[in-house]
Structure 1
Amino acid sequence: MTGRIPEETVQEVLRATDIVNVVSEYVQLKKQGRNFFGLCPFHGENTPSFSVSPEKQIYHCFGCGAGGNVFKFLMDIEGVSFQEAVQKLADKAGIELRVRFDRRAEDPALRERERMMEAHLFLQRFYHHLLVHTKEGQEALDYLQKRGFTKEIIEEFQIGYAPASRDAALTVLRKRGFPQDLLEKAGIIVKREEEDAYFDRFRGRIMFPIHDPGGNTVAFSGRSLSDAAPKYLNSPETKIFQKGRILFNFHRARPKIRKKGAAVLFEGFADCISAYRAGIDNGISVMGTSLTEEHVRLIRRNTDLVILCFDGDSAGKRAAVRAGEMLRQGGCQVRVAALPEGLDPDEYIARYGPEKFRRDVIENSLTLIAYKMQLFREGKNLADEGERARYIEEVQKELASLDSPVEQEIYLRQLADEFSLSLDALKENQRKIQRAKRRNQPLSPSRVPVPAEREKKLKPAHYNAERLLIAHMLRSRTIAVKVREKLAGQSFSVSEHQKIADCLYDFYENGNLPNLSHFLALLPDEGLQKLTAEIAMLPVKEEPEEQELNDYIKSVLNYQKLLKIKEKEREGKQAEREHNYRKAAEIAMEILQLRKSL
């Protein structure tokens, strides 16, 4: 059944929903005073400017201006309609809407994406059934169990088996109504041009499903049971799967990452699963690609601390340094869990066991600088004076990238103690390195001086007075009535402010009590919603004094009079140009009276 959601039902859903809980599923929030703050999910930033008010049940970003109630948040972050946002929250709250909405019928592109996900979810269940319940999957099941995969792990990660038949997936999906061209776009089947025929992409492989941050199955990685190349075969990039935006196991690990305040990042999903078996339930991994800025933003919104656990070979060490630098520049604290040369996490766990991995590798991680210092030492004979000097110079150049003078001093003291050097001499050399670095380094956007004409100007008194009046009016029906009476038909000078005020007057006249989240849902456009959320976040007194309100109203009315004076001055000059001196004198008297009334 479809139709309009009754207003009383919308309000019931709002009352049953806490915006902090909903936003926390997407953004790591920390309480500061009465509100919660985090990194805005709608634009890239390193310093939290995204605020959520549990009292007002709204959010606002002081950086990009995004704002609204819980429905608006879901609409923006998931790309759904208002009705779908209400429906999603009603389902979560156990409220029956009795109306259903499906945009997919109206949006072919969205419907195609949904069908691709449905096909992947069906295949996930199909492959898992073949692995666990059929003779065809027995060899693959035996292989996994020999590698230490328990029944619980196979079930948790929905690991499966793709049969060796060239068209098993194609046949079963076509029987369920999935068109061939959609399956090709989804990367499930491929076309062999010489035969003009389609066949399954994955055949005779152990199948690992890959999910997007929302938990939807969007791709697979298949491991060969033999020595056939490639060892791992991944789904191609499609409309629903972009490697640079997806982190393996993120949907499962996100609650643990927030609870523990840290994420453990691996190079590959096999290491991530092995670590999960070893008790590391906050592990994630990239999908056959280097870490991207999208990955960094996704991680940073959920935690400040990332522990890198990459392979112990030279390539893994280089990758750890690159990833560490990207994460550090993205605002994360970075530690590196170093592995012995030549071992990856999976091999280490198999050789030494889960407890030793947790204790000696993860819990014994190094800061990124300490890890780099360890790498600088490799291949150097520090007993040799020249190599020792090169090592100290490399370390000090690295320390120049640290923003904290305290952190710099800690490592300089380590160098001084280890090599019996003067701390003052090291500090002086550090200052020289940093001066040279500043001379050779172009100014970053954050360091470029802002020209005076581009600096944010202070808003005029009447503008701020209008905003503060609206902030009070949003909290109190009585104040809204009082402001309307005292303005006596005069409008706010900013048209958007007047639109908000008009909507608010109507809201109260319809019998509604102050309810910011409810009011935002009724505003006619997104711009007004954002502006209202911004104004509502202004710090104002719970019960303002009468004189305070009168001062604000006086400022608004005086500005209207100033505008009237300017208009009269133009009329007076026009009268003088026309030699109508009597009219000019009358206008001058009107201007005089207006100035006296200011």
Structure 2
Amino acid sequence: MAGKIPRQFIDELLDRTDIVDLIDNRIGLKKAGKDYQACCPFHNEKTPSFTVSRDKQFYHCFGCGANGNAISFMMDYDKLEFVDAIEELAALLNLEVPREQGSGKPERSMQEKKSDYDLMLQTAKFFQHQLKHHKNATQVIDYVKGRGLSGETVQKYLIGYAPDEWNSLGDQLARNPAQKQQLLELKLASEKTPGKQFDFFRNRLMFPIRDKRGRVVAFGGRVMGDDQGPKYLNSPETRIFHKSLELYGLYEAKQANSKLEKMLIVEGYMDVVALAEQGISYAVAALGTATTPEHMQTLFRTTDLVICCYDGDRAGRDAAWRALENALSNLKDGKSLRFVFLPDGEDPDSLVQKEGKDTFESRLDQAEDFSKVLFRKLLENCDVTSDSGKAKLMSDALPLISKVPSEFYQENLVETLAKLIGRTKEQLAKKVDNPNEQLSIERKFKVTPMRGAIGLLLQHPKLANSVEYMPELAEMAIPGIQLLLNLQHLCLQNNDITTAQLLEQYRETPEFDALKKLAVWQHGVADEKLEDYFKDSFQFIENQCLNYRHETLLIKDKTDGLSRDEKLELALLTQALKR
């Protein structure tokens, strides 16, 4: 795995990116006072409530609560993962993303990385050319037509043909040792005997796999007719391809739909393209592996409704169960997971060609809610007519229910479980590790003096200079003091730091969500009074720390006794607090 992206580079990237220009190029902004406004791109609204601040380099929607910096916007708007968002912003600025050295291997340059993607694209084009011009082209095209695919769909998905010769790709694209080595490293060629290289894919219909940015990163090859070998042959993992992270057809689905109301997970490449041929352009497939947690996270970042479509046999139901388990932690309020099981002997490819788009989509409209699938699976191994069976069902179900972040879903699941085992909802609710306890705390989010000071400093970093930096206050163990001092230290280190850059320092920390709330807190303090207000808040906190230390010393004096220095400190504190 590549090393981490240095924090200094992320700060530089945010410093060089103007969030107003970034967002304006995507959705269009209008000046509104010192900030900019637009209708929110993350929910439907008629009156603009989406605000972008150039000073803070931060956006916030007062309607749906979406907020963040330039990286967050790229992640949410372009549906990118964190690293992809960094790379996309860097590309806009013609910057190369550096990596910290962790593996001992030299980091690949931007040009070397580009060379990998260029080679994959050249390979896809080579396969496309062979589909039309190889000596076997007539038979291959007849096979494609026989599967019901049009030239338009073939072109959209870059479908091609890998010739049956041993080294046709290598002869075309690898003309020197470095290029041959690159083919081997990207798993486009194999070498069992040193110096004797041969193509990895031969005599197969080829499906290029594109990442979220549309770059070809791997291939899936399907046998045609009665040819021998595994039905599908997939690219092994490489430095640019990790199958647990990619979904076949996701890029094409995003290109075909301005907004994806739902996404359909199917099992094979041919299912995806056959559905697209019939106008169902929102299907994706896992790449020769079970649907992973990363797949589910990607899908629920893209849409609110995910429908899993599997065969009705044992293998299909096992695949559905794995998908369900991996999706539970993504089921927040507003997100839905449903399942469709097809008749025996049918797959989406065959069924959609038999019954057409409308009838097939009517099956999707009748998809089962995940809760029914969950309890049906659990009940297979539990006899709820016996106490031991009820105990097993409870034992199996509660850990799964605890994974669900939606309070609404949790309550429904607990209610169903209670009915099955003859308990009350209240009895079971106590046994659920409810992730929404934190949500309930957030709903009661009150701005204390500490939070107020942190919020003001976060929104106006230059306030850090208005009070003395006293790292010794961290020893007082007052809740929030360490965070306040850390923020002040960051601001003092970089006098031009923005709200966006401060927040980015905490993205992977437990404090991130609370800081995001404070970054958009409407404090109501006039600009000319900000410094005095902050000083007063800081003085209040300083007094809290002094009181805490004073009480600590008094208790120690009565129990263990104080050293000479501690007695002097206590006297000084007592005198200071009397003022």
- What TM-score, normalized by structure 1, do the two folds share? 0.64
Partner of 1:261: 261
Conservation of the 8 A alpha-carbon contact between 1:312 and 1:339: yes
Tell me the SS of whatever aligns to 2:198: strand
Deviations 1:370-421 (A, max 9, x none): 568999999xxxxxxxx9999xx99x979977875986799x9xxxxxxxxx
Judged with a 3 Å threshold, the aligned counterparts in structure 2 of structure 1 residues 157 and 546 are, in CA distance, closer, same or farther, namely: closer
Aligned-partner Cα distance in 2 for 1:562–1:328: 43
What pairs with 1:245-324 in structure 2 (closer than 5 Å)? Answer: 245-254=245-254, 259-324=259-324
**Alignment counterpart, residue 519 of structure 2, candidates 519, 522, 537:** 537
Tell me the SS of whatever aligns to 1:245: coil
**Alignment counterpart, residue 432 of structure 1, candidates 410, 413, 422:** 422
**Alignment counterpart, residue 350 of structure 1, candidates 347, 353, 359:** 353
Please tell me whether residue 365 in structure 1 is matched to residue 353 in structure 2: no
Q: Cα distance, 1:321 vs. partner?
A: 3.9
Conservation of the 8 A alpha-carbon contact between 2:379 and 2:393: no
Conservation of the 8 A alpha-carbon contact between 1:35 and 1:54: no
Q: Cα distance, 1:178 vs. partner?
A: 4.8
Aligned-partner Cα distance in 2 for 1:445–1:465: 31
Partner of 2:244: 244
Deviations 1:116-138 (A, max 9, x none): 33222111011101213454423
Aligned-partner Cα distance in 2 for 1:438–1:81: 42
Conservation of the 8 A alpha-carbon contact between 1:206 and 1:222: yes
Tell me the SS of whatever aligns to 1:148: coil
Please tell me whether residue 499 in structure 1 is matched to residue 489 in structure 2: yes
Partner of 2:223: 224
Aligned-partner Cα distance in 2 for 1:366–1:13: 45
**Alignment counterpart, residue 17 of structure 1, candidates 13, 22, 27:** 22
Aligned-partner Cα distance in 1 for 2:377–2:449: 61
Q: Which ranges of structure 1 fall in alignment gaps of 5 or more residues?
A: 23-27, 37-51, 61-66, 91-98, 379-386, 413-426, 451-457, 509-514
Aligned-partner Cα distance in 1 for 2:374–2:17: 55
Judged with a 3 Å threshold, the aligned counterparts in structure 2 of structure 1 residues 357 and 495 are, in CA distance, closer, same or farther, namely: closer
Amino acid at match of 2:576: L
Judged with a 3 Å threshold, the aligned counterparts in structure 2 of structure 1 residues 35 and 542 are, in CA distance, closer, same or farther, namely: farther
Q: Cα distance, 1:561 vs. partner?
A: 6.6
Deviations 1:558-588 (A, max 9, x none): 5557878979x99xx9xx9989x9xx89x96
Identity within the alignment, %? 22
**Alignment counterpart, residue 454 of structure 2, candidates 463, 467, 479:** 467
Partner of 2:210: 211
Give the total of aligned pairs. Answer: 490
Conservation of the 8 A alpha-carbon contact between 1:256 and 1:281: yes
Aligned-partner Cα distance in 2 for 1:430–1:29: 39
Amino acid at match of 2:336: Q
Aligned-partner Cα distance in 1 for 2:250–2:176: 30
Aligned-partner Cα distance in 2 for 1:294–1:21: 27
Partner of 1:199: 198
Amino acid at match of 1:554: D
Deviations 1:302-349 (A, max 9, x none): 223211221243422342344234324541522223322211111112
Partner of 1:594: 576
Q: Which ranges of structure 2 fall in alignment gaps of 5 or more residues?
A: 1-8, 28-40, 61-66, 100-104, 402-407, 439-444, 474-483
Q: Cα distance, 1:70 vs. partner?
A: 1.3
Tell me the SS of whatever aligns to 1:308: strand
Q: Cα distance, 1:264 vs. partner?
A: 0.6
Judged with a 3 Å threshold, the aligned counterparts in structure 2 of structure 1 residues 108 and 203 are, in CA distance, closer, same or farther, namely: same
- What TM-score, normalized by structure 2, do the two folds share? 0.66
Q: Cα distance, 1:247 vs. partner?
A: 1.2
Aligned-partner Cα distance in 2 for 1:559–1:388: 57
Amino acid at match of 2:359: K
Please tell me whether residue 553 in structure 1 is matched to residue 540 in structure 2: no
Deviations 1:458-503 (A, max 9, x none): 99976445324425635xx8xx5xx966x5x676855434335546
Conservation of the 8 A alpha-carbon contact between 1:307 and 1:334: yes
Tell me the SS of whatever aligns to 2:337: strand
* Alignment root-mean-square deviation, CA: 5.6
Q: Cα distance, 1:298 vs. partner?
A: 1.6
Conservation of the 8 A alpha-carbon contact between 1:128 and 1:158: yes
Q: Cα distance, 1:149 vs. partner?
A: 1.0
Please tell me whether residue 170 in structure 1 is matched to residue 195 in structure 2: no
Amino acid at match of 2:365: E
Tell me the SS of whatever aligns to 1:164: coil
